Amino acid sequence: MSTIHLQNLVKKFGDFTGLKTMDLAIADGEFMALLGPSGCGKSTTMNMIAGMEEPTSGKILFGERDMAGVPMGRRGVGFVFQNYAIFTHMSVRQNLAYGPKMRGAPRAEIDRRVGAIAEMLHLTPLLDRKADRLSVNILQRVAIGRSAIMEPAIFLLDEPLSNVDAAFRAVMRTELKQLQRQFRQTMVYVTHDQLEAMTMADRIAVMDHGVLQQVGTPLEVYNNPANVFVARFIGAPGMNLLKGRPAESDRGMVVDLGPLGATPPLPVEIADAARRMRGEVFYGFRPEQVTLAEGGRGLSMPVSFVERIGARTIIHLGDGETAVKAVFDNDVGLAIGQTAVVAPAAEAVRVFDAASGLALRAG
């Protein structure tokens, strides 16, 4: 079984706590992304899974087996480094053969396995090339092949696309995902790029400041962020968050957005929770889930900026604390200086406690 269980995992570096009590269960064959800004603890977590760093406390289980004290060479994990760490003084073939050779596999078997893995990764014609001066996508395949040949139950990837040119990243993403399908191993993928995590992962673990913020499928974290951090971090642009105060009205619970002079209704499911709130809330909605409400009720705001980026147009409304972004198709026809009335789709509204940052949930 190649499940991974992290139980109460803590990592301290002197006085600094790199990871605060992490609990995470990764299923067999799952593609899990550890996502967060730099310094959030994602790489530390990964290094502990690989055995490169010792946890300060807590447990790491592979299946039922406790990994404490198991050295990194014996954990049976494949690891793809950020810079791929290809052995540049060797040929592609020697790189692929490295693991089996070190384990003393017979020559014939090594040849057979290298042949098979090279075939699978389309590296056969490159086998006798020196491993330096290869392009990044080939380096990536060599790095994956070199680990995959050991048939590890678990694959760990540390920001493998961060050195890749933006234009090429999409190609590499697709390639990586297809590889994961072929190998069907448990994969843990560290990244700071929410787009990578969204498009590739089965589930995402969002982290910040050494704390696990939320675990869920890409659409779960996008649609129902657990807190303000996740709401802002996921999505491009992130979720709009406007400060306001819950208020009772004849239309039910509404939120008074203060300087914006609007009191949009709050979702009925969280009305009770909002009623119990003493302080302020964040009224949140996704830029993609906004419609132009011509003459109707909505937020009336000046267009401060228009960005047309290929298939979509991002309209920037207002400024500072009350800035809102809305994403439209290119035929939206708004220009800087105009006033637009925008309304979030009713089912798209999310509300967060401004003090704690946590999402208000039904009940």
Partner 1 sequence: MADVVFRNVTKHYGATLAVDDASFTVNDNEFFCFFGPPLSGKSTILRLVLGLETPDTGEILIGGRPVNAVSPAERNVAMVFQNLALFPHMSARDNIRFPLVERKVAEAEIEKRVADVAAKLHIGHILHKPPAQLSGGERQRVAIARALVRDPAAYLMDDPISALDARLREETRVELKRIQRELGKTLIYVTHDQEEAMSVADRMAILENGKIRQVGAPAEIYDRPASTYVARLLGSPMMNILKSVRGAEGVEAAEGTIRIADKAAPADAVEIGLRPEDIKVRTWSGEMPEGGAGRPARVFEVEPLGGYTVVTLAAGQARLRALLRGQPDIRPDAMVAISCEPGRVHYFGQSGGALAR
Partner 2 sequence: MNAARAEPVLPDEGARLGFRLTLPAQILVLFIAVFPLLMQLYVSLTDWSPLSGLGWWNAWSMWNSFANYTDLAADARFWSALKRTAIVMIVCVPAEFLLGLALATLFADEFPGKRIFYSILLMPMMVVPAVAGYMFFMLFQSGGPVNDILSAMSGFPVTIAWLSDPTLALIAVMVADIWQWTPLMFLILLAGLVGVPEDQIKAATLLGANPWQRFVTIVLPKMKTIIIIALAIRVIENFKIFDTLYIMTGGGPGVATETISVYIYKLTTQDLIWGYVAAIALAILIVLSIVAVFAMKRMARVREVAA
77 three-state secondary structure: strand
| Cβ nearer to partner 1, comparing 48 with 242 | 242
Q: Which does 195 bind (CB under 5 to 8 A by kind): partner 2, partner 1, none?
A: partner 1
Q: Contact 323/259 with Cβ under 8 angstroms?
A: no
List all residues 6 or more positions away from 284 whose beta carbon is below 8 Å from its beta carbon. Answer: 225, 228, 231, 239, 240, 241, 242, 349, 350, 351, 352
Q: Which does 194 bind (CB under 5 to 8 A by kind): partner 1, partner 2, none?
A: partner 1
Residues within window 111-170 making contact with partner 1, judged by CB under 8 A:
165-167, 170
* DSSP3 helix / strand / coil % (the chain, rounded to 5): 30, 35, 35
Residues at the site binding partner 2, with contacts judged by CB under 8 A: 50, 52, 72-74, 77-79, 81, 83, 85-90, 98-99, 102-103, 130, 132, 146-147, 150
Pick the closest to residue 352 from 217, 216, 213 (CA basis): 213
Contact call for residue 219 and partner 1 (CB under 8 A): yes
Measured distance CA(60)–CA(6) in Å, rounded: 5
Check the CA dihedral 241-243-245-247 and report its sign: negative
Q: Which does 87 bind (CB under 5 to 8 A by kind): partner 2, partner 1, none?
A: partner 2
Q: Which does 109 bind (CB under 5 to 8 A by kind): partner 1, partner 2, none?
A: none
Q: Which does 98 bind (CB under 5 to 8 A by kind): partner 2, partner 1, none?
A: partner 2
Of 79, 183, 189, 233, the residue at the interface with partner 1 (CB under 8 A) is 233
Q: Contact 322/283 with Cβ under 8 angstroms?
A: no
Contact call for residue 308 and partner 1 (CB under 8 A): yes
Minimum CB–partner distance for residue 101 and partner 1 (Å): 35
Q: Contact 111/118 with Cβ under 8 angstroms?
A: no
Minimum CB–partner distance for residue 146 and partner 1 (Å): 26
Contact call for residue 194 and partner 1 (CB under 8 A): yes
Minimum CB–partner distance for residue 103 and partner 2 (Å): 5
Minimum CB–partner distance for residue 336 and partner 2 (Å): 41
Whether the upstream peptide bond of residue 237 has omega within 30° of 0, thus cis, is yes
Measured distance CA(23)–CA(20) in Å, rounded: 9
Check the CA dihedral 105-106-107-110 and report its sign: negative
Write the DSSP assignment of 11-71 as a string of letters: EEETTEEEEEEEEEEE-TT-EEEEE-STTSSHHHHHHHHHTSS--SEEEEEETTEE-TT--
Minimum CB–partner distance for residue 116 and partner 1 (Å): 25
Measured distance CA(94)–CA(114) in Å, rounded: 9
Q: Which does 102 bind (CB under 5 to 8 A by kind): partner 1, partner 2, none?
A: partner 2
Q: Which does 112 bind (CB under 5 to 8 A by kind): partner 2, partner 1, none?
A: none
Of 71, 311, 331, 333, the residue at the interface with partner 1 (CB under 8 A) is 311
List residues binding partner 1 (CB under 8 A): 37-38, 165-167, 170, 174, 177, 192-195, 198-200, 218-219, 222-223, 232-238, 286-289, 305, 307-312, 316, 327, 329-330
